[in-house]
Structure 1
Amino acid sequence: MTIAIVTDSTASLDPDDARREKIAVVPTTVVVGSEVFTEGVDITADRIAEALAQKVKVSTSRPSPETFAAVYAGLVADGATEIVSVHLSSKVSGTIDSARMAAARCPVPVHFVDTRQVGIATGFAAAAAARLRDLGASSAEIVAAARAAGERSTVLLYVDTLEYLKRGGRVGVAASVIGSALAVKPILTVRDGEVVPLEKVRTASKALARVVELARQATERFPAGFVAGVQHLAARERAEDVAAQLAEVWGWDHVPVDEVGADIGAHVGPGMIAVTVTGR
């Protein structure tokens, strides 16, 4: 029995890591102005940040069922007898719906995991699935591990403005709670698969300090250890500072810092900082 692991490009997996862990990544589509791009192929988050700063319209769309079908077919041709497909929350994207439609035409069983998370939290769940597969686990055990990784994840998002999340329909409740006060810097989280407000702070520096503290508190639930990462859009210096503070708090040599993918970047806007913690 050969079990293949699939995720989507919003999982923010490094291409080298995905290849090493044998995780197939299905790309989303990003539209900048009138140009159509494929995430991870011909568009970067830097391009997205530039477009947003210039007020160019940016939108995203889920992978088509045909795209998923082609990936599944390739895996079957390579010998897969089962597929575990791990994706971002169905409450913020229809990606898993496309995957399900493609699975109806797949000649081998496809098992789905709605991580109810976004960003690298989905990537951590896919990586957990790959580790279990390599240990010889069954598809049911792999699905359970990926789902549990999503449940054990805490995502903390700082954004300079809610404009981009509101524009993409990715946040509704947060807008009503935080309102339009320009001086407020929102901290968001993912709860029950949706992006929701957690706290509001008056300045960016205080908000980021609070994110560090909330991340520290989140790890207290995981005595067996955890993985973590910091993501950003056009804010590397700010992200490196947050990572350095977290490394000191946790006694690590360093905390990985990466720029978000183009798809997520289109919805959060420049200046975003995200800290993700997933318990082992």
Structure 2
Amino acid sequence: MPPSQADSVVLVTDSTAMLPSHVAAQRGIVVVPLQVVIGARSYEEGAPEATPQTIADALREWTPVSTSRPGPAVFLEAYQQAAQQGAESILSIHLSGEVSGTFESAQLAAREAGIPVLTVDTRQLGFATGYAVLTAADVLAAGGSAEDAAAAARTRAAATTSLFYVDTLEYLRRGGRIGAAAALIGSALAVKPLLALAEGRVSLREKVRTSSRALSRLEELAVEAAGDCSVDVAVAHLSAADRADVLVGRLAERLAVNLEGREVDLGEVGAVLGAHVGPGMVAVVVAPR
């Protein structure tokens, strides 16, 4: 799609940002997919063979599941294609470099792109990254520069609270994504962990005794994070639609003033994030506007 933003800046992100395909197309955002490996086969995130349900089933059945970043060559191809279509510069916004090498791949490709490429590490995941991307798109649509849009994306991401509950830490442990949280939880198998993104890394926020208590705390922490601000709110899940629906309803009611008529966004995480959190995960994102 030819660039339509000011000064022909093309916006690039990755598939973990959870942008609906129609939104990306409408805004002219290029989405570079990460890879998920199920058993011995590798798929691009979003492929029919790598749906959230496929990942949840594979994890439950102990089928080996892993993920990998797009290589620099994949980003370089995206950047060069944008340039061929008239882009004069590129703004590339991605998930936390602390949990994925995707941002590093974008940086490496930027050096070879032939046009200026500004890269942004949101230090966030999922909907939180997506909100930062859409904020950048708004700035570009209003005539702002790539630098203005990058600054707005970083500011939005830094102000965003990302919290999530998992039924088990096993999947995060397998992928090496929990670090200190594993030591804090120790062998307390009866404990249900509430996790957060802090400085781009997954960290332990609280420990509770039951899944119902964990979901109640997610609700309370989201309300606290919103405060008196105008916010966007999202709930994400993997194979936990009922839990997510309840949380959406509660937050829509309690944060109606903050939402100013907007709905609570709801979505199932894609294969890549799902591979690391496992079925039963519920997350909430609160992003001040």
TM-score by length of 1: 0.97
Asked if the contact 2:232/2:264 (under 8 Å) is kept, the reply is no
Whether 1:278 and 2:287 are equivalent positions in the alignment is yes
Alignment of 1:103-182 (within 5 A): 103-182=110-189
Instruction: Choose from 4, 27, 35 the match for 1:21.
Output: 27
**Amino-acid identity (%):** 48
CA distance in 2, matches of 1:148, 1:245: 27
Describe the SS at the equivalent of 1:271.
coil
Partner in structure 2 of residue 33 of structure 1: 39
Partner in structure 2 of residue 46 of structure 1: 53
Instruction: Choose from 237, 240, 252 the match for 1:232.
Output: 237
Describe the SS at the equivalent of 1:56.
coil
Describe the SS at the equivalent of 2:194.
strand
Amino acid at match of 1:37: Y
Shift of 1:228: 1.2
Asked if the contact 2:127/2:234 (under 8 Å) is kept, the reply is yes
Superposed CA offset, 1:223-277 (max 9, x none): 3x11111000000011000111101101267422110010000000000000011
Instruction: Choose from 265, 271, 285 the match for 1:256.
Output: 265
Describe the SS at the equivalent of 1:121.
helix
Gaps of 5+ in 2: 1-6
Gaps of 5+ in 1: none
Shift of 1:41: 2.7
Describe the SS at the equivalent of 2:196.
strand
Instruction: Choose from 58, 66, 69 the match for 2:65.
Output: 58
Whether 1:90 and 2:97 are equivalent positions in the alignment is yes
Whether 1:183 and 2:190 are equivalent positions in the alignment is yes
How large is the Cα RMSD of the aligned pairs? 1.0
Describe the SS at the equivalent of 2:86.
coil
CA distance in 1, matches of 2:288, 2:85: 33
Describe the SS at the equivalent of 1:6.
strand
Instruction: Choose from 3, 6, 11 the match for 1:5.
Output: 11
Whether 1:269 and 2:269 are equivalent positions in the alignment is no
Describe the SS at the equivalent of 2:188.
coil
Paired residues in the alignment total: 278
Whether 1:200 and 2:207 are equivalent positions in the alignment is yes
Superposed CA offset, 1:53-85 (max 9, x none): 100000000001111111111111111101000
Amino acid at match of 2:233: A
Partner in structure 1 of residue 217 of structure 2: 210
CA distance in 2, matches of 1:20, 1:261: 21
- Structure 1 runs of 4+ with >6 Å offset: none
